[in-house]
Amino acid sequence: MTDKSANRMWGGRFKALPAEIMEEINASIGFDKRLAPQDIRASKAHASMLAAQGIITKADAREILKGLEQVLAEIESGKMDYTRALEDVHMNVEARVKDLIGTPAGRLHTARSRNDQVATDFRLYVRETIDAFDTALAGLQFVLARKAEAHAATVMPGFTHLQPAQPVTFGHHMLAYVEMLGRDRGRFADASRRLNECPLGAAALAGTSFPIDRHMTADALDFDKPSANSLDAVSDRDFVLETLAAAAITAMHLSRLAEEIVLWATHQFGFIRLSDKFTTGSSIMPQKRNPDAAELTRAKVGRVAGAFQSLLIVMKGLPLAYSKDMQEDKEVAFDALDSLALAIAAMAGMVDDMEPVPDAMRAAADQGYATATDLADWLVRALKLPFREAHHVTGRIVAEAESQSLPLEKLSLKAMQAVERRITNDVFSVLSPEKSVSSRKSYGGTAPQNVRKMARSWLKRLEKGLARG
């Protein structure tokens, strides 16, 4: 009878097959098979380098490369037959190459280990994912900036503590998220720059005695350079943690916008309308139009932030170098990055789809005495009152307006003069929401001319970047 353990790539050391439960907990092929394209790319670079260094023959290298291409074709066509008995993507790919080309396949693993393989494959995958995020986030920025340009002068209430604070414009509000997403793209770019060192050739943990050329494989895989320490190369997962941290912050930003979309779409706010494309109905209440896409986007931050925490806890107690615990890096990362990609796409669709309701926004801007700060500023400028005194006077005037159930701009001059006799009719030049937003011309302020200029600047930058992408 054939000893099945001999079929395992590490079977020479073991006399018996692992217990069924051991196979269950040990196998990762169920999730790491998505790294197969990266594994093949790295294997091709490794085989080419081995041949160039004379470590394997060029004839063997040609066979290996041919076999790898055939396996890649099978993967892309969905014909690759993965087996859990071979544990992971690396063993599955190598075993399939051996099926196709025979003996030369056994030379592919010369001067490398699964430890540096997986570190290389995962870096390639994360780098590609970051590139995709950058394009997707730029696309979301673009639809936000386009909305901002169209609504540069659409007045709405600005809030602090979810209470009316000062009038702003809807365009200004949209540009706030453009800025947030710009920082998110910067964090991802930083993570990509730091991860761009190639672990291949670090082998299990100590490097190799074979005369390999690690710069050659790094160049072939578009890394900036080889990693400088073999222990660090195989045991580092900072690149995943940093990417997940950036992903968690991005998801948080998307969640904040999603929360606002949920609020704005309510009957109580009525600031926007969403079409049937991004809403759902109720099984029992025929009138309902639920912003489920926004709600689900809002929820994704839990999964993404949870993945970061999960991997951080996995890594915190591991001595150098590699431990099997690190197999837990992939499932959480894949789930988080997939969730974020979906959330970005959903948000871009919702922002493009949502239709602002200017009349409702303008009516809300009249409530809550949002131009009270403009009145206080006028008292400082026109009457030379210290701001703290102006603040006190304004508070008394607001109380009077409230007692009469009037907005500030409708309160009589006589009523204001009863609080501060020197107030003149000129005060009404600052009390409407439109006058308030128009006066906020400081850099970064909500004045429509500022918003229009900034929106166009962003659109120009984003159009260039998206065209290059």
C-alpha 23/C-alpha 84 separation (Å) is 8
* CB distance 301 to 255 below 8 Å: yes
State the Cα–Cα distance between residues 30 and 83, nearest whole angstrom. 9
Residues 7 and 9: their CA atoms lie apart, in Å, by: 6
The burial of 467, by beta-carbon neighbours within 10 Å (0-12 exposed, 13-18 middle, 19 or more buried), is given as: exposed
* Residue 13 burial (CB count, 10 A): 7
Burial call 293-319: b when 16+ CB within 10 Å, e when fewer: bbeebbebbebbbebbebbeebbeeee
Helices (H) and strands (E) in the chain, counts: 18, 6
**28 in Cβ contact with 82 (< 8 Å):** no
Q: Which of helix, strand or coil describes residue 156?
A: strand
CB-based burial label for 104 (10 Å; 0-12, 13-18, 19+): buried
List the catalytic residues: 161, 282
CB-CB contact of 277 with 310 (8 Å): no
In single-letter form, the type of residue at position 35 comes to L
Report helix, strand or coil for 198: strand
Q: Residue 317: CA atoms inside 13 Å, Cβ hemisphere, count?
A: 4
Residues contacting residue 53 through CB under 8 Å, at least 6 positions apart: 210, 211, 212, 213
Residue 71 phi, psi (nearest 5): -65, -40
| Alpha-carbon distance values, 324 to 89, 320, 372 (Å) | 15, 12, 62
φ, ψ at 328 (rounded to 5°): -75, 0
Helix (H, G, I), strand (E, B) or coil at 356: strand
Kindly give the pairing relationship between strand 197-198 and strand 225-226: parallel
Positive or negative, the CA dihedral 438, 441, 445, 448 is positive
